[in-house]
Amino acid sequence: MGKIRLLALVSVLLLSAACDRLAEKARENFINMGDFSIENKVDYTEARDGAGRILALVPRGQPHPPGFAPTRVIETPVRRVVAYSFFDVGILRALGEADTVVGVTTPESGWFVDEMRKGFAEDRVTYVGEPDALDYERVEALHPDVVMTWDPSIVPMMDELGIPVLVTSTPLATCLATHIRFAQFLAPFFGREREAKVFYERVARSLEDIRERTRGRPKPKAMWGDIYEKRVLVEPGNAWVAELVGLAQSDYLFDDVYGTSCIEISLERFLYSGNDADIYFTYRSVKDGIVSKDALVRMNSLLASLKPLGPNGRAYSPLPHYSQSADRLDDILVEISAILHPEAYPDYKLQFFVDLPDHDPIVQARGNQP
């Protein structure tokens, strides 16, 4: 009986080890990132984009798998991209693939990324119109392998033109886990899995450092949004910035709001939370004339009631290059944490945000002062 029990135990251990190997193999073959996923098949890779569309990634020169419309097949590595989003271009830069971008929906004057500026100067990057007024003929003339967009409504027209589309946004705001792993979703399109892993691990280390630095510290209360002419927009509690605030041992005052990024809420709710906030992040930047708390109040006098816009409050505005710096995501996460907990980051110098003074800076007239 002892020998039988021993054989049974060995069989169980061998089966368990085999199951572990199968599970590990399954994890390698299928990567899930929120609404996005990558699954390796025998001869191709399936990618599910933000609109729930299944695309086939096929090595160049290989037969296309059955069951996929022509515009649902993307030959890899991708060489030519039209990109809507600053974030997507930043992730391509992190993967070493910024030079694949041949078309964008932001004019040359709106770019701070070196590769984009150089691309425009060398006529390798073309402005294809605003997202709501896309020049489809110009897009077609660029012969892109794929158009990366946040707007699924362009899919029917692109199908007619025979151009594959990758929807890189979702109806809900991107969570922190998806945000930091998005490079792993784009990597198979370019054969850059190794670079994506290095990028993810770098960002993950920064998050671990944030946890350690902020553990046990007092929790400041933060809000992120703005009052516009006809509506009030904020980052919901399911957005990556809100989750980061929570991870950095802070309270996000719109944590109960759920939905898309830049979601609309009532003015009353915004002002109520503003009475309780310690830190305020505005969407507006110096491009909008925001150089001080006074400048924000001039935009809308109701903002004067926000506690962070008072004499001892703390309000922050993004610098123009902030939204184009996804390749430095780890640095951005650290900076937001440093704003929330300056005592945990002594001598930290802001790179992506401006700590707004109470009043407009005094600008000396050129020639009137020594």
Q: What's the rounded Cα separation, in Å, for the pair 333 and 246? A: 12
pLDDT at site 164: 98
R_g of the chain, CA atoms, integer Å: 24
302, pLDDT greater than 70: yes
With beta carbons less than 8 A apart as the criterion, state whether 108 and 90 touch: no
27: exposed, middle or buried (Cβ count in 10 Å: 0-12, 13-18, 19+)? exposed
Q: What's the rounded Cα separation, in Å, for the pair 161 and 129? A: 17
Residue 77, preceding bond cis, omega within 30 degrees?
yes
Per-residue confidence at 187, pLDDT binned at 50, 70, 90?
very high
Bridge partners, 240 (sequence order): none
pLDDT at site 25: 45
When pLDDT is averaged across residues 22-32 and rounded to a whole number, the result is: 60
| Sign of torsion over alpha carbons 316, 317, 320, 324 | positive
370, pLDDT greater than 90: no
- Alpha helices by DSSP H, listed for 248-328, are 267-274, 293-299
> What are the tens digits of pLDDT across the range 84-132?
999 999 999 999 999 999 999 999 999 999 999 999 999 999 999 999 9
CA end-to-end distance (rounded Å), the chain: 100
Q: How far is CA 228 from the centre of its chain?
A: 23
DSSP per-residue letters across 61-80: TSPPPTT--GGGEEEES---
Average pLDDT over all residues of the chain: 91
DSSP letter assigned to residue 92: H
What percentage of the chain reaches a pLDDT higher than 90? 87
Q: Tokens for 208, please give them.
A: 């671990």
When pLDDT is averaged across residues 18-24 and rounded to a whole number, the result is: 45
Residue ranges and CATH numbers for the domains of the chain are 30-179+182-188 (3.40.50.1980), 214-355 (3.40.50.1980)
Q: What's the rounded Cα separation, in Å, for the pair 39 and 57? A: 10
When pLDDT is averaged across residues 320-340 and rounded to a whole number, the result is: 97
With beta carbons less than 8 A apart as the criterion, state whether 343 and 308 touch: no
Per-residue confidence at 29, pLDDT binned at 50, 70, 90?
confident
Per-residue confidence at 31, pLDDT binned at 50, 70, 90?
confident
- Alpha helices by DSSP H, listed for the chain, are 2-29, 86-94, 114-121, 136-141, 155-161, 176-190, 193-214, 240-247, 267-274, 293-299, 329-340
369, pLDDT greater than 80: no
